[in-house]
Amino acid sequence: MEGLVPAQRAGMAKSALPLSVTMTATENPAYPSQYVADVLLKDGSTVHLRPTRSVDSSALRALLERMSPRSLYLRYHRAIRQISDEEVRRFTDVDYKDTFALAATLGEPPGERIIAVGLYSRVDGDRAEVAFTVEDSHQGRGIATQLLDHLAIAARDNGIQTFEAEVLGENRSMMDVFRDSGFPLESRIKYGTYHVAFPIEETAEATERAADREAWAAAASVRVFFEPKSVAVVGASRQRGTIGAELFRNVLRHGFTGTVYPVNPKARSVGGVKAYPSVLDIPDDVDLAIIAVPAEHVLEVADECAKKKVRGMVVISAGFRETGPDGAAREEALLTRARSNGIRLVGPNCMGVLNASPEVSLNGTFSPVFPPAGNVALESQSGALGLALLDYARELNIGLSTFVSVGNKADVSGNDLVQYWEQDPKTDVILLYLESFGNPRKFARLARRISAKKPIVAVKSGRTSAGSRAAASHTGALATLDVASDALFRQAGVIRVDTLEQLFDVANLLAHQPVPQGRRVGILTNAGGPGILAADACEGQGLEVARLNEETTARLREFLPPEAGLSNPVDMIATATAEQYGRALRVLLEDDSIDSVLAIFIPPLVTQAEDVAAAIRDAAAEHKGKKTLVACFMSAKGAPPELAAGDVTIPSYAFPEGAAMALAKASEHAEWTKKPRGAVIKFEVDYPSARRFVEKTIRTSKEEGLWL
């Protein structure tokens, strides 16, 4: 499963979540279960949509009886004192073709509650009248908009092309639903009532509007994980070294700016903080619950969170889909509880969430590492690997905005997260460690849009058959053919790297420097050998070691010794001073034939690395935002801290090859952003014939796998 997916149609950008539909033994075989969906609302909560059934009569009557007189008047254009049986039957006596009703529900049967309903009735050929009823306390959340989107899908399938409606002139909220849908609206008002009509075909504007609503809803729904006001740690333990103990102490140790509550039925306090036997015993509201209890108790905790109206759950516990059929059933039950109660879920089988911003300062993981605050967001599908990633980020001084380990991705996935990071002002670069795709089509659509604004860098493991098998046993992930992953990343503008080291090498550049505007590189060095290695590495990565123009060569000759090599690479020889580094860099950065500069330094006896680093930084400060500058300090001590000061940071690499790779990946991304977006081509396909051909080919082929 993978976060938000297009609702029932690959081409529609609707905010529906994936789910499995289980037919009961008494269910009507004609029941259109393909229109069942869990959807996100604009406040970030979820609601369940399903076609109505005859057994919904009492629940629908209860909905109408809960409506205020004002809402009933706006719906029926007259005062309603009593709900008639005929009015209830309009929503239940449907044939799913000429008449079709969708209910929006919360909770699980038998406690399921219908909070809204949408209905269309065919009036003439390809035209249908549409109407909506939303419970007063749930109005303004976007439910009617979702009902309209999904009714339109069903109507198109049944040959309806136009919706009509009669709306009182004072019913502004309903008119706003129609106007904001993106469908081309025609309306006229007579005697205080609007007659509205609009075609429901999939237009570019309607799709774009739906995508915008989806993005805002997805971002709102996961905001609770990164910006909670209160957190309950369920399973907080006094026993140091346990996950529950370290989780709770990490929240305290790193200065969470909200309120934290330990939940432990056997302890009066944990870490000096009053403990509560259950989430239900906490006297105040709880935004986020981080759950670290044995898998067999997680469902019970989820039920308590639902009663407490917790908005988000992070389930650290393992023992779900990754363990086999029984675990998969437990995970499905957990997801159903979350979806039915409007709760978003991270995990299970994950490491947790983190927000390094001083405004939140939440370490909701069991990692002792809290990275510096910065502009890089990081998602890891692997919890244990997340520990190493956080440690590596801190070692390289790469600041993070937020981090999340998604584990089994039962609900919240990379698709949800990239939409949050798209809107997060503190995030400029997005890093992903992926083992699988749940919904690659949607990821491609989102990444294509977001990559144009914020670079996405990804490591996709499971490239080989052995790796795919390991991924499946790790998080229950389904393998994705690697050549398909390559094509997806390339077309969506995602920067794919092969290793975690490369992931951070590229991130280091993107987080601190502008992307190169071309592939032409200038190389500055105080030793010939590294300069040659750098030149080879650059050309090997598809970069161009540029020819310096004559003016640049003449200016360099003015202050460099006669022995210096003034072609590219520029070899200042071992006696080069920090001042010469600074002057030479300024000259190279002003050369119009160069897009980026790689400055290499090997510590000689006479020049201090710290002085050279300061000179490089100062030269970069004068040209900030104009050209890309990276460094390579080839020393066991690594890069001096002087490379970063104020709002200027120069990425530094241990060897020239790493710098060349990062420059090449950034250059490729810059080229991608300049390409025309193009358009998706729709092909007419004879699906029955294609299916027969594929089945015959597979049946008669002697190969294990083949390309068609």
Task: State phi, psi for 411 to the nearest 5 degrees.
Answer: -130, -80
- What is the rounded CA–CA span in Å between residue 530 and residue 550? 24
| Confidence bin at 11 (pLDDT 50/70/90) | very low
Radius of gyration of the chain (CA): 30
| Confidence bin at 465 (pLDDT 50/70/90) | low
pLDDT digits (tens, 9 = 90+) for 551-563: 999 999 999 999 9
Comparing 466 with 437, the larger pLDDT belongs to 437
By mean pLDDT, which of 82-86, 97-101, 656-660 is the weakest?
A: 82-86
The half-sphere exposure of 117 on its side-chain side, counting CA atoms within 13 A, is 26
Residue 24 has pLDDT above 50, yes or no: no
Please give the structure tokens belonging to residue 183.
């469908």
Helical (H) or strand (E) element with 404: strand 400-405
Residue 163 has pLDDT above 80, yes or no: yes
% of the chain at pLDDT higher than 90: 72
By mean pLDDT, which of 73-87, 279-293, 503-517, 679-693 is the weakest?
A: 679-693
Residue 15 has pLDDT above 70, yes or no: no
The whole-number pLDDT of residue 27 equals: 47
- What is the rounded CA–CA span in Å between residue 127 and residue 197? 9
The whole-number pLDDT of residue 460 equals: 87
The whole-number pLDDT of residue 512 equals: 94
Residue 463 has pLDDT above 50, yes or no: yes
The whole-number pLDDT of residue 658 equals: 96
By mean pLDDT, which of 34-43, 113-122, 483-492, 675-684 is the weakest?
A: 675-684
Q: Are 405 and 243 in contact (CB under 8 A)?
A: no
Residue 70 has pLDDT above 50, yes or no: yes
The whole-number pLDDT of residue 501 equals: 93
Please give the structure tokens belonging to residue 708.
């068609």
The whole-number pLDDT of residue 80 equals: 85
Task: State phi, psi for 468 to the nearest 5 degrees.
Answer: -65, -40
By mean pLDDT, which of 5-14, 508-517, 525-534, 602-611 is the weakest?
A: 5-14
The whole-number pLDDT of residue 705 equals: 65
pTM score of the predicted model? 0.85
- What is the rounded CA–CA span in Å between residue 252 and residue 363? 8
Segment 293-302 shows an average pLDDT of 97
Residue 227 has pLDDT above 90, yes or no: yes
The residues pairing with 238 across neighbouring beta strands, listed in sequence order, are none
Other CB atoms within a 10 A radius of the CB of residue 325 amount to 8
Residue 468 has pLDDT above 80, yes or no: no
- What is the rounded CA–CA span in Å between residue 584 and residue 565? 12
The whole-number pLDDT of residue 640 equals: 87
Please give the structure tokens belonging to residue 511.
């987080």
Residue 542 has pLDDT above 80, yes or no: yes
Segment 84-89 shows an average pLDDT of 92
Segment 529-548 shows an average pLDDT of 96
The whole-number pLDDT of residue 37 equals: 92
Q: Are 539 and 692 in contact (CB under 8 A)?
A: no
How would you list the strands of the sheet with 127-134, edge to edge? 16-17, 37-40, 46-51, 99-106, 113-124, 127-134, 162-168, 193-199, 186-190
Other CB atoms within a 10 A radius of the CB of residue 478 amount to 14
By mean pLDDT, which of 194-203, 652-661, 686-695 is the weakest?
A: 686-695
Average pLDDT, the chain: 89
Nearest to 363 by CA among 425, 422, 290: 290
| Confidence bin at 206 (pLDDT 50/70/90) | confident
Sign of CA dihedral 517, 522, 526, 529: positive
Nearest to 184 by CA among 163, 213, 215: 163
Residue 18 has pLDDT above 60, yes or no: no
Residue 401 has pLDDT above 50, yes or no: yes
